[in-house]
Amino acid sequence: MAAAWAQPLVLLVLLASGSGAAAAPGDSLLNVCMDAKHHKSAPGPEGQLHAQCSPWKDNACCTANTSLEAHKDQSYLYGFNWNHCGAMPEQCRRHFVQDTCLYECSPNLGPWIQKADSSWRKERVLHVPLCREDCEQWWEDCQEAFTCKDNWHKGWDWSSGTNRCPRGAACQRFPAVFPTPAALCERIWSASYRYTGLRRGSGRCVQMWFDPAHGNPNVAVARYYARGAAAAPPGPPGLLLLLPVALVPPVFSSSL
């Protein structure tokens, strides 16, 4: 009798354990680059990433040249001018550089990649959950900066080849345009980011800033969201319910 049930039992064990099965649901969203203007087709090592982009050098979606351009006030990447309302303070500017590095270099944004109807990119990110400290420090460091718009993705005057404030838009300090950290993170790039109350190290929010000496914390965050955040119901009971009655093994006594 034991021999007769050997094959179904092996099948049941394989199904319950996942051995020999396909990759876990959501794994296709891990370690990927979005289809956008300057991104590589697939992530890989980049030993010479510049300055603030260097945390991604072991596995990046950006090239060394892209990382260098990300640090310029007005680069060939997008022709965008941070200083559209006067010189942006350095402590504020560094957050925008880091934001650019995350966007261009990170291979851990897959769970939030969406199709984009744009002439310069086919994909974008939407509602990436940023850690509380990253949003709050960004906002704090930009208190003395000026801007004329709360959404920097659209509505600029590009007639000169770079972004200028649209007619009638007055330059104001950041706090007047972005009254809270959430307003800054969520409005400035058309809801690319979502403000969370989650802290760095929680494994549930994306960090713009991290120390590569301790690894990239966003790898685990992407995996968490790609696989649905919540743990799936235990495998064996559900699988037993799905198996045909003929394959469910009988209960053997301990004497066998």
86 secondary structure, DSSP code: B
pLDDT in tens, 203-242: 999 999 999 999 999 999 999 999 874 344 444 443 333 3
Q: What is the pTM of this model?
A: 0.77
pLDDT in tens, 155-202: 999 998 889 999 999 999 999 999 999 999 999 999 999 999 999 999
CB-based contacts of 175, cutoff 8 Å, min separation 6: 143
- Residue 2: predicted pLDDT: 44
- Residue 245: predicted pLDDT: 34
- Residue 116: predicted pLDDT: 81
Cα–Cα distances in angstroms (integers) from residue 236 to residues 24, 51, 81, in the given order: 16, 49, 57
More confident of the two residues 163 and 121: 163
pLDDT band at 124 (very low <50, low <70, confident <90, very high): confident
Q: Which pair of structure tokens corresponds to residue 77?
A: 């990447």
- Residue 238: predicted pLDDT: 38
Region 118-128 average pLDDT: 85
- Residue 5: predicted pLDDT: 41
- Residue 22: predicted pLDDT: 53
pLDDT in tens, 20-78: 445 565 788 899 998 877 778 899 998 888 999 999 999 999 999 888 888 887 666 77
Q: Which pair of structure tokens corresponds to residue 166?
A: 């649209």
Sign of the alpha-carbon torsion through 60, 63, 64, 68: negative
- Residue 76: predicted pLDDT: 67
Cα–Cα distances in angstroms (integers) from residue 50 to residues 57, 87, 94, 209, in the given order: 9, 22, 13, 15
